[in-house]
Amino acid sequence: MDVNVAAAAACAIAGLGVGLTASIAFRWSEREQAKGRHSGTNRNQGLGPAQEPPLPPGVDTVLSVLRSCAIVLGEGDEVVKASSAAYAMGLVRGGAVALDQLLALARGTRRDGEIRQLELELPRPGAARAADPLAVSVRVAPLGSRLVLVLVEDQTERRRVEAVRRDFVANVSHELKTPVGALSLLSEAVADAADDPEAVQRFAGRMQIEATRLASLVQEIIDLSRVQDDRLMVDPEPVAVDELIAEAIDRCRQQAAAKQILIAAGGIEGLYLHGNRGQLAAALGNLVENAVNYSPPRTRVAIATRRISSAAALGEADGELIEISVTDQGIGISEKDRERVFERFYRVDPARSRQTGGTGLGLSIVKHVAASHGGTVSVWSVEGQGSTFTVRLPAGQAPVDRPPVGGPPQSLSETTPQLAPEA
* Per-residue pLDDT, 360: 67
Is residue 407's pLDDT more than 70?
no
Please tell me whether residue 301 adopts helix, strand or coil conformation: strand
Q: Report the alpha-carbon distance of residue 83 to residue 392 in Å, rounded.
A: 39
Is residue 411's pLDDT more than 70?
no
Q: Could you tell me the CA-to-CA distances from 202 to 177, 179, 327, 342 in Å, in that order?
A: 22, 17, 36, 36
Q: Report the alpha-carbon distance of residue 269 to residue 285 in Å, rounded.
A: 19
* Per-residue pLDDT, 417: 41
Q: Could you tell me the CA-to-CA distances from 149 to 39, 61, 124, 138, 205 in Å, in that order?
A: 34, 14, 23, 11, 68
Is residue 347's pLDDT more than 50?
yes
pLDDT tens-place string over residues 36-71: 444 444 443 333 333 444 666 767 677 776 777 888
- pLDDT category, 423, cuts 50, 70, 90? very low
CB atoms within 10 A of CB 242: 21
Mean pLDDT of 269-276: 90
Question: Bigger pLDDT: 352 or 194?
Answer: 194
Question: Bigger pLDDT: 164 or 368?
Answer: 368
Mean pLDDT of 140-164: 84
Q: Report the alpha-carbon distance of residue 29 to residue 15 in Å, rounded.
A: 21
DSSP 119: E
Tell me how many degrees the CA angle 172-344-210 measures, rounded to the nearest 5.
Answer: 45
Q: Could you tell me the CA-to-CA distances from 132 to 129, 285, 336, 342, 382 in Å, in that order?
A: 8, 35, 18, 20, 29
Q: Which residues pair with 74 in a beta bridge?
A: none
Question: Bigger pLDDT: 50 or 316?
Answer: 316
* Per-residue pLDDT, 54: 64
Q: Closest by alpha carbon to 291, among 302, 280, 281, 283?
A: 302
Is residue 139's pLDDT more than 70?
yes
Please tell me which of 41-45, 313-317, 372-376 the model is most confident about, judged by mean pLDDT: 372-376
Mean pLDDT of 318-346: 83
pLDDT tens-place string over residues 198-245: 888 888 888 888 888 788 778 777 777 766 655 555 567 899 999 999
Q: Where are the beta strands (DSSP E) in 10-145?
A: 69-73, 79-82, 92-93, 96-97, 116-122, 134-143
* Per-residue pLDDT, 206: 87
- pLDDT category, 303, cuts 50, 70, 90? very high
In this prediction the pTM is 0.53
Lowest mean pLDDT among 25-34, 64-73, 103-112, 377-386: 25-34
DSSP 123: P
Please tell me which of 11-15, 43-47, 277-281, 316-320 the model is most confident about, judged by mean pLDDT: 277-281
* Per-residue pLDDT, 145: 77
* Per-residue pLDDT, 324: 95
Work out the mean pLDDT of the chain and round it to a whole number. 75
* Per-residue pLDDT, 1: 46
Q: Report the alpha-carbon distance of residue 170 to residue 45 in Å, rounded.
A: 64
* Per-residue pLDDT, 42: 41
* Per-residue pLDDT, 246: 93
Question: Bigger pLDDT: 411 or 142?
Answer: 142
* Per-residue pLDDT, 299: 92
Q: What percent of the chain has pLDDT over 90?
A: 14
DSSP 415: T
- pLDDT category, 416, cuts 50, 70, 90? very low
pLDDT tens-place string over residues 67-119: 778 888 888 888 888 888 888 888 888 878 888 888 888 889 888 888 988 88
